[in-house]
Chain A
Amino acid sequence: DTGVSQNPRHKITKRGQNVTFRCDPISEHNRLYWYRQTLGQGPEFLTYFQNEAQLEKSRLLSDRFSAERPKGSFSTLEIQRTEQGDSAMYLCASSPGRAGGVLTDTQYFGPGTRLTVL
């Protein structure tokens, strides 16, 4: 399967603990996005990478959240000192940027990591 993969698929943690999620985008996709989705809502943008550069962060991304994409391939999202309000589905998406010389904005989503903070 050459789609976007995310690990783990589920994470249950206690309030105050740190958690880290991983996203492996589609090979050769230079754009990578993180979104958060709560029950009954659409996904909300968190942050965006072009290659290894983090180009935008939402104000939803408090200083307890940090994301990296060190080699421009996989990305990690870490949440420190988790709170119950962090419980959500964390979605990763990748996009080729330019495909065949044409700029494309289509984003391909992974299955998500469901975080439950007790």
Chain B
Amino acid sequence: SQQGEEDPQALSIQEGENATMNCSYKTSINNLQWYRQNSGRGLVHLILIRSNEREKHSGRLRVTLDTSKKSSSLLITASRAADTASYFCATAPTGANSKLTFGKGITLSVRP
């Protein structure tokens, strides 16, 4: 079963605009991760935020985590056509096993 639910399911923006994607989850987590997947290819890890963190930055990426609302957001600033891809949030549970539970993903299209 899939724990994360991303919102919106699809997003289309103009190059240079910011893209905000949201993720909600259901159970307690150790950390939450965002991945990118280009069409038909493997997943690329973008950023990891631990349950005791509230915000994290990496280049043009900013991720927030609100454990009280069981939600996270990913902001991509100054988007580029190359950011066009599917984006997934994935949660790792508390406990020893760090298997990831993914949402269905968000399709981002950045128009040049």
Contact = CB atoms under 8 A, between A and B. Distances in A.
A112 B100 contact: no
Interface residues of B, number: 25
Interface of B: 2, 4, 30-31, 33, 35, 40-45, 48, 88, 90, 92, 97-105
Given A44-B102, A45-B99, A95-B98, A105 B48 contact: yes
B97 A105 contact: no
B104 A109 contact: no
A2 interface: no
A111 B33 contact: no
Nearest to A105: B98
A24 B102 CA distance: 23
B104 A42 contact: yes
Interface residues of A, number: 27
B92 A110 contact: no
A40 interface: yes
A14 B104 CA distance: 29
A56 B97 CA distance: 8
A31 B97 CA distance: 10
A59 to B, nearest CB: 10
A3 to B, nearest CB: 9
